[in-house]
Chain A
């Protein structure tokens, strides 16, 4: 390692020590930021620490879970893994994870889509997993076209990387087609069958990425994901390299047959998640199998995987089940509503929307969420609005035909459902910055049960 990189690494570690041991602060970003200021090429020099290779995971929804499952499955196979588990996914977070770790066999790193342009050219990962692309934080990230351009440019600057992406997503395939033209090897994953689900009301990407003609769908899984083709040009759902079939999604979790043409089929099961989780696990299984993880170790990792980061975390508060999940954009929210409606018990929901910078300050998207679906059945007992923009959520719900009260905290929301039987669970759906306070509150109020 060059002297400057060694010095930057040493300084970053010192900052980490100071923050965590002396100041007892979170240190997922600052060590990397300071080390990068001293040595902007730091990531390129730290890549030598990973003996077998590295995997970067990006995509609008599902990065943290997918990334952590891949890391856990490699560890279950006996590999030493370096990972930014807490989800600090900008360039400073990735640099922090790299400099704080010792030597490892694999680096498994989640990256914000726009940060790929800073990370890929230096890290030159073995695989880039692109999960999906949805509109999210338009005020910060800009329109999806810009996100796509950035990922294509990042791949072009890292020609040895293989792109592993969702063949069901026309927006990800738009990136894949352009990456392939730039000489990048592309592998795809997707559902091998119609899941028979109702489409979302405001679909994205109805138009061909190549020529602008309206796409045709044989079926959709959710949002714009499905078996699509352009009636005008050759842009279409590809022949998949990793396929899920016999997909079962219910309140108990998800399971599917995972197959890679030319190899055997194996059943994968996880006791959490909905349709979107089936896609995340399929992506994780694809990346893990490319990195040499066998079926048994992958399942072993899933069996031991208990999300502790506010993603589908379950708590017990005075015998009431509370389910906490992140919902930060229309697609994520719609998927959460599907999950909630698949729960056949009477239930309540606390919907929390903040508008801090890292949430996106523009919350117009709440009008694209299909809250109307909550009025359909008998089982939805009560809906409560929260967060900095609780009043906006309340108005949105009013126009969906739902009378919602406002609560300032999870504790207050639990008080407001106090008259409902304990068997009635409370779903707490929050966007990004509201997640941590909700999680802290639930951890002090109740018992976490995996």
Chain B
């Protein structure tokens, strides 16, 4: 098993959206495929490129400053139709932080409403204060709570029927009120758990890989890996957060 399988990973604008160690997510996807004998072809899309999603299996979009997020949004609006077709066809999308906001109908940059990609029925406005801190989320896509860090001024509101990625166990999540974090739509995962989302949450990484394999090859068995280090890092942070008073 494993021989000959190839997945193509499109990393959108890494030079713009790389605020919080986003390259770690790509590295983790690549290694976890390679360790299973799956070839991972990473295509970095730069500002001078015209991205194509026709042969893509996974698209990944990270987080950046407001200014950089705006530049990326303008580029992606030009290929919105193709990206939407990819999503509707079950293409896998991982979108983190600013990238998560781009999935929706709109977000705010200062007081200006910026049109988003409308790939998922959600929109983002702002609130004060910024929601900053460690976060833990219970989610059906990961056997362990998803742990990481969030830092966002935006408050994201899901449309009726859009499933959140999970339930906030510690931290703020989409808007600091509903107790919901992120979104799941077809094979799209959007979340405020930023930067190295995948290293400490190998279940999420494997979820993305499995969905892509399923779509490309019809079967999604993944050989188990030795995740002792990853799960220990996950547990240390989980235990710490569960022992603390809730934030906010």
Interface residues, chain A, with chain B CB atoms under 8 Å away? 135, 138-139, 143-145, 201-203, 206, 212, 214, 361-368, 391-392, 394-396, 398-399
Contacts and interface: CB of A to CB of B under 8 A. Distances in A.
B39 interface: no
A364 B15 contact: no
B232 A364 contact: no
B196 interface: yes
B162 interface: no
B54 interface: no
A364 B21 contact: yes
A29 to B, nearest CB: 24
B46 to A, nearest CB: 9
A367 B67 contact: no
B229 A366 contact: no
B151 interface: yes
B19 interface: yes
Contacts of A202: 18, 23
B229 A365 contact: no
Given A362-B151, A396-B199, A367 B229 contact: no
B149 A399 contact: no
- Give the interface residue-count category, chain B: 20 to 34
Contacts of A365: 20-21
A303 B196 CA distance: 43
Interface stretch (B24-32, B114-122, B182-190, B209-217): B24-32
B232 A362 contact: no
B233 A392 contact: yes
A399 B26 CA distance: 11
B91 interface: no
29 contacts: A138-B151, A139-B132, A139-B133, A139-B151, A145-B67, A201-B23, A202-B18, A361-B149, A362-B132, A362-B149, A363-B149, A364-B21, A364-B196, A365-B20, A365-B21, A366-B196, A367-B21, A367-B24, A391-B229, A391-B233, A391-B237, A392-B200, A392-B233, A394-B233, A395-B199, A395-B233, A396-B199, A398-B229, A398-B230
A206 B17 CA distance: 12
Contacts of B200: 392, 395
Given A139-B132, A395-B229, A395-B230, A362 B20 contact: yes
A214 B28 CA distance: 28
B194 interface: yes
B195 A206 contact: no
A135 B68 CA distance: 15
Contacts of B149: 139, 361-364
A231 to B, nearest CB: 13
B65 interface: yes
B62 to A, nearest CB: 11
B21 A368 contact: yes
Contacts of B236: 391
Interface in B200-241: 200, 229-230, 232-233, 236-237
Contact of A212 (B71, B134, B229): B71
A365 B196 CA distance: 9
B18 A138 contact: no
B134 A367 contact: no
A408 to B, nearest CB: 13
Given A143-B66, A361-B133, A364-B24, 10 more contacts: A139-B132, A139-B133, A201-B23, A214-B47, A362-B149, A363-B149, A391-B237, A392-B233, A395-B200, A395-B230
B65 A399 contact: no
Contact of B229 (A135, A201, A364, A394): A394
Contact of B20 (A138, A212, A391, A392): A138
A167 to B, nearest CB: 23
Nearest to A330: B21
Contacts of B229: 391, 394-395, 398
B161 to A, nearest CB: 32
B195 A399 contact: no
Contacts of B15: 203, 206
Interface in B9-47: 15, 18-24, 27-28, 31, 47
A182 to B, nearest CB: 21
Contacts of A366: 21, 196
Contacts of A391: 229, 232-233, 236-237
Contacts of B24: 364, 367, 396, 399
